[in-house]
């Protein structure tokens, strides 16, 4: 299975890779992959992304006054998520030169690919 996210800001690639790895390692993916939807991914994103940012990117070294709000605005719709064949369609449309503003994970290998 492949899960992708279009976030439009390469400064947050470590945050997004942390999010993708967390989802890939979840019981949702391992036990109930048929339950994965774009809307469900958006719900998970909204409820975890700031903590993932703190753990994977800022490490409490930056002023985070507006970061949580910013991260929620960057990915505010379910259509920012891509599942399986949607990723191929995204890459056909936009190519791989997206300045690391799109990333996806292959849950079989746990490898994050940035485009």
Separation between Cα atoms, residue 82 and residue 77, nearest integer Å: 12
Cβ atoms 105, 21 nearer than 8 A: yes
Residue spans per domain, the chain: 2-114
pTM confidence score = 0.91
Walk along the chain (115 residues) and give the pLDDT tens digit of each residue: 999 999 988 888 999 999 999 999 999 999 999 999 999 999 999 999 999 999 999 988 887 777 888 889 889 999 999 999 999 999 999 887 777 789 999 999 999 998 8
- Beta pairing class for 102-106 and 81-83: unpaired
């Amino acid at each position: 299975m492949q899960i992708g996210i279009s976030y439009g800001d390469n400064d947050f690639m470590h945050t997004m890779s942390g999010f993708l790895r967390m989802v890939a390692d979840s019981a949702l993916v391992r036990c109930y992959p048929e339950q994965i939807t774009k809307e469900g991914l958006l719900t998970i994103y909204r409820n975890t992304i700031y903590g993932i940012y703190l753990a994977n990117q800022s490490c409490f070294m930056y002023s985070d006054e507006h970061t949580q709000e910013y991260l929620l605005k960057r990915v505010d719709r379910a259509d920012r998520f891509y599942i399986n064949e949607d990723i191929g369609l995204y890459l056909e449309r936009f190519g791989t030169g997206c300045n690391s503003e799109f990333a996806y994970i292959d849950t079989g290998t746990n490898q994050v690919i940035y485009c």
